[in-house]
C-alpha cells in the first residue's frame, strides 16, 4: 500500500508511512519500548525505514512529543483491539488456492447477509468456514459480510469501526478471514464486504490526533462526516479508495456493500463514490466485482452509468420492497411503513421498475423520495424480507415469520426468490430461526448508556413501541446477553419440524431459480418478464420463453380468489399450449395444507388463499 507498515524486500525491514499534515514531529513506538523519529515527506506524510522491524512487530505513533501513542490509521491488525498497538502483517504469507476464481457479476446472484460474531456459537472465521457447505447447498451464491473492520469491545455490529484496514480481532487473525474467503471460492461462493465510508466510530477514534482534515464540517446520524471535498481532502479520498481496493486485493473480496451512502457528502467534480468505483475495479482486474449501495432515499443515480451522469455502482438496496412486504404480512402501517399499502400493485411495480418511490411525495418524510429508474434493469435492485436493520427495528428482534400468517410468509418468500430482482436472505432466515437480532455494541459505560437511550428514542417513532412498558423491554445494546441471544442455534434447522420445512421451501425455490431454464433466464434479465395485478392481494408474474415454454407465478397473500372470468392477458397460455401446475408453496413438505388439484377450470381460475403457485406451459 502507499501508506501503513510495508515489509521491505529481502528482509530489509519495514517502511512505516503515516499522514499527519499538521504535526511538528512524529515518532514510531516499537514494541512498547524504543522510539524512532519519522522524517517529513511530501503531502503531509511522515516516513521511516526500520531494519530491525518485521512481521508481527508491534508499533504505535506518538505525535508532537506526546507520551500517549496511537494505533496506525492504516493498521492491518490490532491484536488487542483499537486501544492497543498495531501489528505488522505480511499480506503475502497466506497460500491462496483460488487462482482460477474469476470474480462475480450481479445477474443471477442470491445474496446471504451474515454477522461473523453471531453466525456461529464460536463467532469466528474458522467456525463460519464450516457452514459454507450449508450455504452452497442452500443455493446461495454471494455472501455479504456485515462490517469486519475493528472496533473497541468484545461485540458489536461493526458500523462503529475505527480501524478500517484491520479485521476485528475477536473473529480471528487476518489469515483466518483469508481462509474463509478462499474456502468460499473453492465452493463456488462469492464474498462481498459491508464497508462504512460516511463516518468513523466514536470510541477508540484517534483520527483527529493525526489530522483534523479527516473530517468535514457536516454531521451524520452517527458522527462527523468524512472530508471528501475540503482542504487536504485528496489524502482522505486516497485513504478511502485504497481501503476499498485493499479488501479486494489482500482478501480477494468480490465486491463491497457501501453503507448509508446518503451520508457521504461530496461536491467534487468527480464524486468519491465514482472515483472509488473506478479505482476499485481497476485494482480488481482481471476479476469482476460488484459494488452495492445502501441509500435511504434510493437514488438511482448511484447505479446509473457514469456516461449518463451516474456514479457507476452496480446495485441498490430496495427498502420499498421490504416495507410493502412487511405491511402485507403484518397489516401494520406506522412510522416509515406509513406510505405503503402492502397490496399487489406495489409488488407488480417492483417487478417492473424496482423502487416504488421514484420522485413522488413521501408523506413520512414530507418530501420527495427517489429518482426514476426506467433505464435500469430490475436485477440491479436488491430485495429482501429481512436484513440486519429491519429485523432489529422490530424492537425485540423478531423475525418476519413470527409476525406473519404462515401461508402469506411462504407466498412472499416465493415471490422474493423467484422474482426478477436480486434476492437477499439474512442469516437463519432459511430455517425461520426464532433467534432475535437486535442492536448490540460493547461500549464503555457512559457511551453505552447513551446508545441504549438513543435506541429507545429511535424505536419510539413506532406508536406500537412507544409505550413506556414496551420501551423498558427494549434490550440493552451493551449487555452481553443481548449479543449472545442473537447467536444462531444451528440445531434449529435440523431438530425442529418447522425449521426443516422452512429449509425445504428455501432450498427448493433456489433450486428452481437456478435450474429451471426459463426462470434462470428471467431472473437474470435475459428473458422478458411481465407482471399484473389480479386482485388487491394477488398478482401474476410471467417469464416469456422464445419457444412459448413460459413460466407463470401466481402469488396470493390474501383470501382464496375466484377469478371468473379472467380477462388478464398474462393468464392466457401460448398458442397450442396449456398451463400445468409445477410447484406450490402449500405443499405439506413446507407446512402447507396442500393445493387442490386443478386451480384452472373451464370458466377461469380458482387461486388458493395464502399461496404461491408456479405453472409451466405444456403442449396440448
Give the per-residue pLDDT at 57.
Answer: 97
Domains of the chain from N-terminus onward: 4-87 (2.60.40.10), 114-409 (3.20.20.80), 516-619 (2.60.40)
Other beta carbons within 10 angstroms of residue 131's beta carbon come to: 15
Beta bridge partners of 45: 19
Pick the more confident residue, 307 or 595: 307
User: Given this model, what pLDDT does residue 474 score?
Assistant: 79
Residue 470 reports pLDDT greater than 70: no
Higher pLDDT, 128 or 595: 128
Predicted local confidence at residue 407, as pLDDT: 96
Rounded CA separation 498/139 (Å): 20
Nearest to 513, CA basis, from 113, 138, 192: 138
* 125-182 pLDDT, tens digit each: 999 999 999 999 999 999 999 999 999 999 999 999 999 999 999 999 999 999 999 9
The mean-pLDDT minimum among 117-131, 217-231, 260-274, 598-612 falls in 598-612
Burial of 279 (0-12, 13-18, 19+ CB in 10 A): middle
Known catalytic residue at 516? no
Bridge partners (DSSP) of residue 361 are: 368
Q: Is the pLDDT of residue 471 over 60?
A: no
Half-sphere exposure of 487 (CA within 13 A, CB side): 14
Predicted pLDDT at 466? 64
Q: Is the pLDDT of residue 295 over 70?
A: yes
The reply to whether 294 belongs to the active site is yes
pLDDT at 472: 62
Q: How far apart are CA 534 and CA 540, in angstroms?
A: 7
For residue 461, the model assigns a pLDDT of 73
Distance CA 466, CA 460 (A): 4
* pTM recorded for the entire structure: 0.96
Q: How confident is the model at residue 585 (pLDDT cuts 50, 70, 90)?
A: very high
Average pLDDT, the chain: 93
Average pLDDT for residues 337-348, to the nearest whole number?
96
Phi–psi pair at 63, nearest 5 degrees: -105, 130
| Nearest by Cα to 415 from 342, 333, 316 | 342
Gap between the Cα atoms of 526 and 545, Å rounded? 10
Q: Which of 194, 294, 516, 587 is catalytic?
A: 294
Region 386-398: what's the mean pLDDT?
A: 88
Give CA 284 to chain center in angstroms.
Answer: 20
pLDDT band at 600 (very low <50, low <70, confident <90, very high): low
Residue 318 in this model has a pLDDT that exceeds 90: yes
CA distances from residue 352 to 83, 175, 345, 620 in whole angstroms, order as listed: 50, 43, 11, 31
Cα distance between residue 32 and residue 27, in whole Å: 12
Q: What is the mean pLDDT of residues 1-18?
A: 95
pLDDT beyond 80 at 572: yes
| Alpha carbon distance, N-terminus to C-terminus of the chain | 65
- For 198-242, the pLDDT digits (tens) are 999 998 999 999 999 999 999 998 999 999 999 999 999 999 999
Q: Specify the DSSP class assigned to residue 103.
A: B
Q: What angle do CA 490, 492, 495 make, to 5 degrees?
A: 115
Looking at residue 567, its pLDDT comes to: 87
pLDDT at 563: 86
Q: Which of 113, 144, 194, 259 is catalytic?
A: 259
Buried b (16+ CB within 10 A) or exposed e, 41-66: eeebbbbbbbeebeeebbbbbbbeee
Residue 557: pLDDT above 70?
A: yes
Q: Which residues contact 603 (CB under 8 A, 6 or more apart)?
A: 564, 565
- How confident is the model at residue 602, as a pLDDT? 59
Q: What is the DSSP letter of 162?
A: S
75 neighbors 87 (Cβ within 8 angstroms): yes
What does the pLDDT look like over 273-292, one tens digit per residue? 999 999 999 999 999 999 99
pLDDT at 460: 72
pLDDT tens-digit readout, 410-468: 999 999 999 999 999 999 999 999 999 999 999 886 776 777 777 777 777 777 766 65
pLDDT greater than 70 at residue 23: yes
For position 525, what pLDDT does the model report? 87
Environment class of 106 (CB within 10 Å of its CB; exposed 0-12, middle 13-18, buried 19+): buried
Q: How confident is the model at residue 113 (pLDDT cuts 50, 70, 90)?
A: very high
Lowest-confidence region among 31-45, 318-332, 391-405:
391-405
Maximum CA extent, the chain:
89
User: If pLDDT is split at 50, 70 and 90, which confidence band does 598 have?
Assistant: low
Amino acid at each position: 500500500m502507499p501508506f501503513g507498515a510495508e515489509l521491505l524486500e529481502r528482509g530489509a525491514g519495514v517502511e512505516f508511512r503515516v499522514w499527519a499534515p499538521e504535526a511538528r514531529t512524529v515518532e514510531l513506538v516499537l514494541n512498547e519500548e524504543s522510539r524512532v523519529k519519522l522524517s517529513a515527506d511530501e503531502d503531509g506524510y511522515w516516513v521511516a525505514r526500520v531494519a530491525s522491524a518485521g512481521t508481527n512487530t508491534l508499533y504505535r505513533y506518538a505525535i508532537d512529543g506526546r507520551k500517549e501513542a496511537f494505533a496506525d490509521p492504516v493498521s492491518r491488525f490490532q491484536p488487542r483491539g483499537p486501544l492497543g498497538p498495531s501489528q505488522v502483517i505480511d499480506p503475502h504469507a497466506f497460500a491462496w488456492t483460488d487462482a482460477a476464481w474469476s470474480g462475480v457479476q450481479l445477474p443471477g446472484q442470491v445474496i446471504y447477509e451474515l454477522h461473523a460474531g453471531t453466525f456461529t456459537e464460536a463467532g469466528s472465521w474458522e467456525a463460519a468456514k464450516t457452514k459454507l457447505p450449508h450455504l452452497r447447498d442452500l443455493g446461495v451464491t454471494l455472501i455479504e459480510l456485515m462490517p469486519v473492520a475493528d472496533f473497541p469491545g468484545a461485540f458489536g455490529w461493526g458500523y462503529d469501526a475505527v480501524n478500517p484496514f484491520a479485521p476485528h480481532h475477536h473473529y480471528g487473525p487476518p489469515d483466518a478471514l483469508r481462509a474463509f474467503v478462499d474456502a468460499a471460492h473453492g465452493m463456488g461462493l462469492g464474498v462481498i464486504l459491508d464497508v462504512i465510508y460516511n463516518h468513523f466510530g466514536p470510541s477508540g477514534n484517534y483520527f483527529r490526533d493525526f489530522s483534523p482534515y479527516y473530517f468535514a464540517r457536516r454531521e451524520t446520524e452517527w458522527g462527523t462526516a468524512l472530508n471528501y471535498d475540503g482542504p487536504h481532502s485528496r489524502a482522505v479520498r486516497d485513504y478511502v479508495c485504497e481501503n476499498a481496493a485493499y479488501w479486494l486485493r489482500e482478501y480477494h473480496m468480490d465486491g463491497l456493500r457501501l453503507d448509508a451512502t446518503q451520508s457521504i457528502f461530496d461536491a467534487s467534480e468527480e464524486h468519491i463514490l465514482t472515483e472509488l468505483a473506478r479505482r476499485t475495479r481497476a485494482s480488481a482486474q482481471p476479476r469482476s466485482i460488484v459494488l452495492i449501495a445502501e441509500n435511504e432515499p434510493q437514488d438511482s443515480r448511484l447505479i446509473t452509468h457514469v456516461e449518463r451522469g451516474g456514479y457507476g455502482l452496480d446495485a441498490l438496496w430496495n427498502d420499498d420492497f421490504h416495507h410493502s412486504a412487511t405491511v402485507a404480512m403484518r397489516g401494520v402501517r406506522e412510522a416509515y411503513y406509513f406510505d405503503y399499502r402492502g397490496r399487489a400493485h406495489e409488488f407488480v411495480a417492483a417487478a417492473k421498475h424496482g423502487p416504488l418511490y421514484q420522485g413522488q411525495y413521501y408523506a413520512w418524510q414530507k418530501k420527495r423520495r427517489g429518482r426514476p429508474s426506467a433505464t435500469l434493469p430490475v436485477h440491479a435492485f436488491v430485495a429482501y424480507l429481512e436484513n440486519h436493520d429491519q429485523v432489529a427495528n422490530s424492537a425485540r428482534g423478531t423475525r418476519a415469520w413470527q409476525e406473519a400468517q404462515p401461508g402469506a410468509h411462504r407466498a412472499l418468500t416465493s415471490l422474493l426468490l423467484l422474482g426478477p430482482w436480486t434476492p437477499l436472505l439474512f442469516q437463519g432466515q432459511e430455517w425461520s430461526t426464532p433467534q432475535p437480532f437486535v442492536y448490540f455494541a460493547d461500549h464503555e459505560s457512559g457511551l453505552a448508556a447513551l446508545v441504549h437511550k438513543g435506541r429507545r428514542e429511535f424505536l419510539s417513532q413506532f406508536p406500537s413501541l412507544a409505550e413506556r412498558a414496551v420501551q423498558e423491554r427494549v434490550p440493552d445494546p451493551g449487555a452481553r446477553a443481548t449479543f449472545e441471544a442473537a447467536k444462531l442455534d444451528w440445531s434449529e434447522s435440523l431438530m425442529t419440524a418447522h425449521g426443516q420445512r422452512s429449509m425445504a421451501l428455501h432450498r427448493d425455490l433456489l433450486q428452481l431459480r437456478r435450474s429451471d431454464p426459463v426462470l434462470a433466464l428471467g431472473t437474470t434479465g435475459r428473458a422478458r418478464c411481465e407482471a399484473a395485478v389480479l386482485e388487491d392481494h394477488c398478482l401474476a408474474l410471467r417469464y416469456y420463453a422464445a419457444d412459448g415454454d413460459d413460466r407463470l407465478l401466481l402469488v396470493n397473500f390474501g383470501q382464496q380468489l375466484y377469478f371468473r372470468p379472467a380477462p388478464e392477458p398474462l393468464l392466457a397460455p401460448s398458442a397450442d399450449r396449456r398451463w400445468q401446475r409445477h410447484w406450490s408453496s402449500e405443499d405439506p413438505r413446507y407446512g402447507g395444507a396442500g393445493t387442490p388439484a386443478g386451480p384452472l377450470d373451464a370458466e377461469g381460475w380458482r387461486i388458493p388463499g395464502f399461496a404461491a403457485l408456479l405453472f409451466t406451459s405444456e403442449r396440448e
